[in-house]
């Protein structure tokens, strides 16, 4: 067995993910937040909507659910573990920084997908037809990884005070949602709005979900998937590089 080999490190990342799920995700308040958030978002959406089609509402809702759940807990894990010194334990184990980051990403991917499945179920229960299931599954998986990487990216500043990071991530997360064509369909956005929207991975994900339920999307599906994939790779790579640099400053 080569402990530094890729396969072995992936297995160890999975151990870290299981630990995260057990400690940080399978907690009453976190789960309740996760399940109720889509419901409340949905109600708020319904009341505020100006005759927008249900498919558009649900695709925005699914986009927000996945985005918020996949980035909800992960930014705080490093600060928590840094102050509890458990991060030092991980750092002295035969795992790389990338493995630790990857493990945290897996946990948030699973949490995001799990809660998003609830939202999708609500959409289906409301009578939305699922036209492209495979596309939806691919989009959810890809976007979950992408948003998890964003969540970990928000954790890069090496502070061990979770509330600092939570504040910072809200400052970044909410504007990102607003520019992502979730509240206003992409077709109705002015040019500058569209210019902003294409910078957000959430835009492509919401567009893909809309396609899955209506067969119509603003961008071609290939572009949506490609853009999402590029964002995913870029965010994952950047978060790994940055964490490798800042990890030792948390100790």
Cα–Cα distance for residue pair 149/232, rounded to 1 Å: 7
Q: How far apart are the first and last CA of the chain?
A: 29
Q: Does 240 bind other proteins (CB under 8 A)?
A: no
> Which residue number, 16 or 182, has a Cβ lying nearer to other proteins?
16
Instruction: Provide the total of helices (H) and of strands (E) in the chain, helices listed first.
Output: 11, 0
Spatial contact of 226 and 136, defined as CB atoms under 8 Å apart: no
Q: Does 91 bind other proteins (CB under 8 A)?
A: yes
Per DSSP, helices labelled H in 189-220 are 191-197, 201-214
Residues 1-20 interacting with other proteins (rule: CB under 8 A): 1, 3-4, 8-9, 11-12, 14-16, 18-19
Cα–Cα distance for residue pair 179/181, rounded to 1 Å: 6
Cα–Cα distance for residue pair 15/211, rounded to 1 Å: 36
- Rounded least distance, CB 207 to other proteins, Å: 39
Spatial contact of 209 and 125, defined as CB atoms under 8 Å apart: no
Q: Does 243 bind other proteins (CB under 8 A)?
A: no
Residues 9-68 interacting with other proteins (rule: CB under 8 A): 9, 11-12, 14-16, 18-19, 22-23
> Which residue number, 106 or 225, has a Cβ lying nearer to other proteins?
106
- Rounded least distance, CB 159 to other proteins, Å: 17
> Which residue number, 89 or 121, has a Cβ lying nearer to other proteins?
89
Q: Which stretch binds other proteins (CB under 8 A): 36-44, 85-93, 142-150, 177-185?
A: 85-93
Q: Is 106 helix (H, G, I), strand (E, B) or coil?
A: helix
Write out the residues near other proteins by the rule CB under 8 A.
1, 3-4, 8-9, 11-12, 14-16, 18-19, 22-23, 84-86, 88-96, 248, 251
């Amino acid at each position: 067995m080569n402990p530094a080999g890729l396969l072995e490190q992936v297995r160890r990342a999975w151990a870290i993910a299981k630990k995260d799920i057990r400690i940080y995700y399978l907690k009453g308040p976190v789960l309740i937040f996760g399940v109720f958030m889509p419901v409340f978002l949905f109600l708020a959406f319904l009341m505020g909507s100006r005759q927008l089609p249900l498919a558009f509402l649900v695709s925005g809702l699914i986009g927000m659910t996945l985005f918020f759940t996949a980035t909800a807990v992960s930014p705080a894990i490093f600060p928590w573990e840094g102050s509890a010194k458990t991060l030092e334990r991980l750092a002295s184990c035969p795992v790389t920084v990338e493995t630790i980051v990857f493990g945290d990403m897996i946990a948030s991917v699973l949490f995001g997908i799990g809660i998003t499945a609830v939202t999708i179920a609500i959409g289906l229960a409301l009578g939305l037809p699922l036209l492209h299931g495979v596309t939806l599954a691919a989009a959810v998986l890809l976007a979950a990884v992408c948003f998890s990487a964003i969540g970990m990216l928000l954790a890069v500043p090496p502070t061990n005070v979770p509330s600092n990071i939570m504040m910072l991530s809200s400052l970044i997360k909410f504007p990102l949602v607003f520019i992502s064509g979730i509240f206003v369909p992409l077709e109705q956005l002015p040019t500058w709005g569209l210019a902003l929207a294409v910078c957000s991975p959430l835009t492509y994900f919401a567009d893909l979900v809309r396609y899955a339920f209506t067969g119509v999307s603003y961008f071609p599906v290939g572009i949506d998937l490609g853009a999402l994939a590029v964002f995913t790779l870029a965010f994952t790579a950047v978060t790994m590089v940055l964490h490798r640099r800042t990890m030792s400053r948390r100790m």
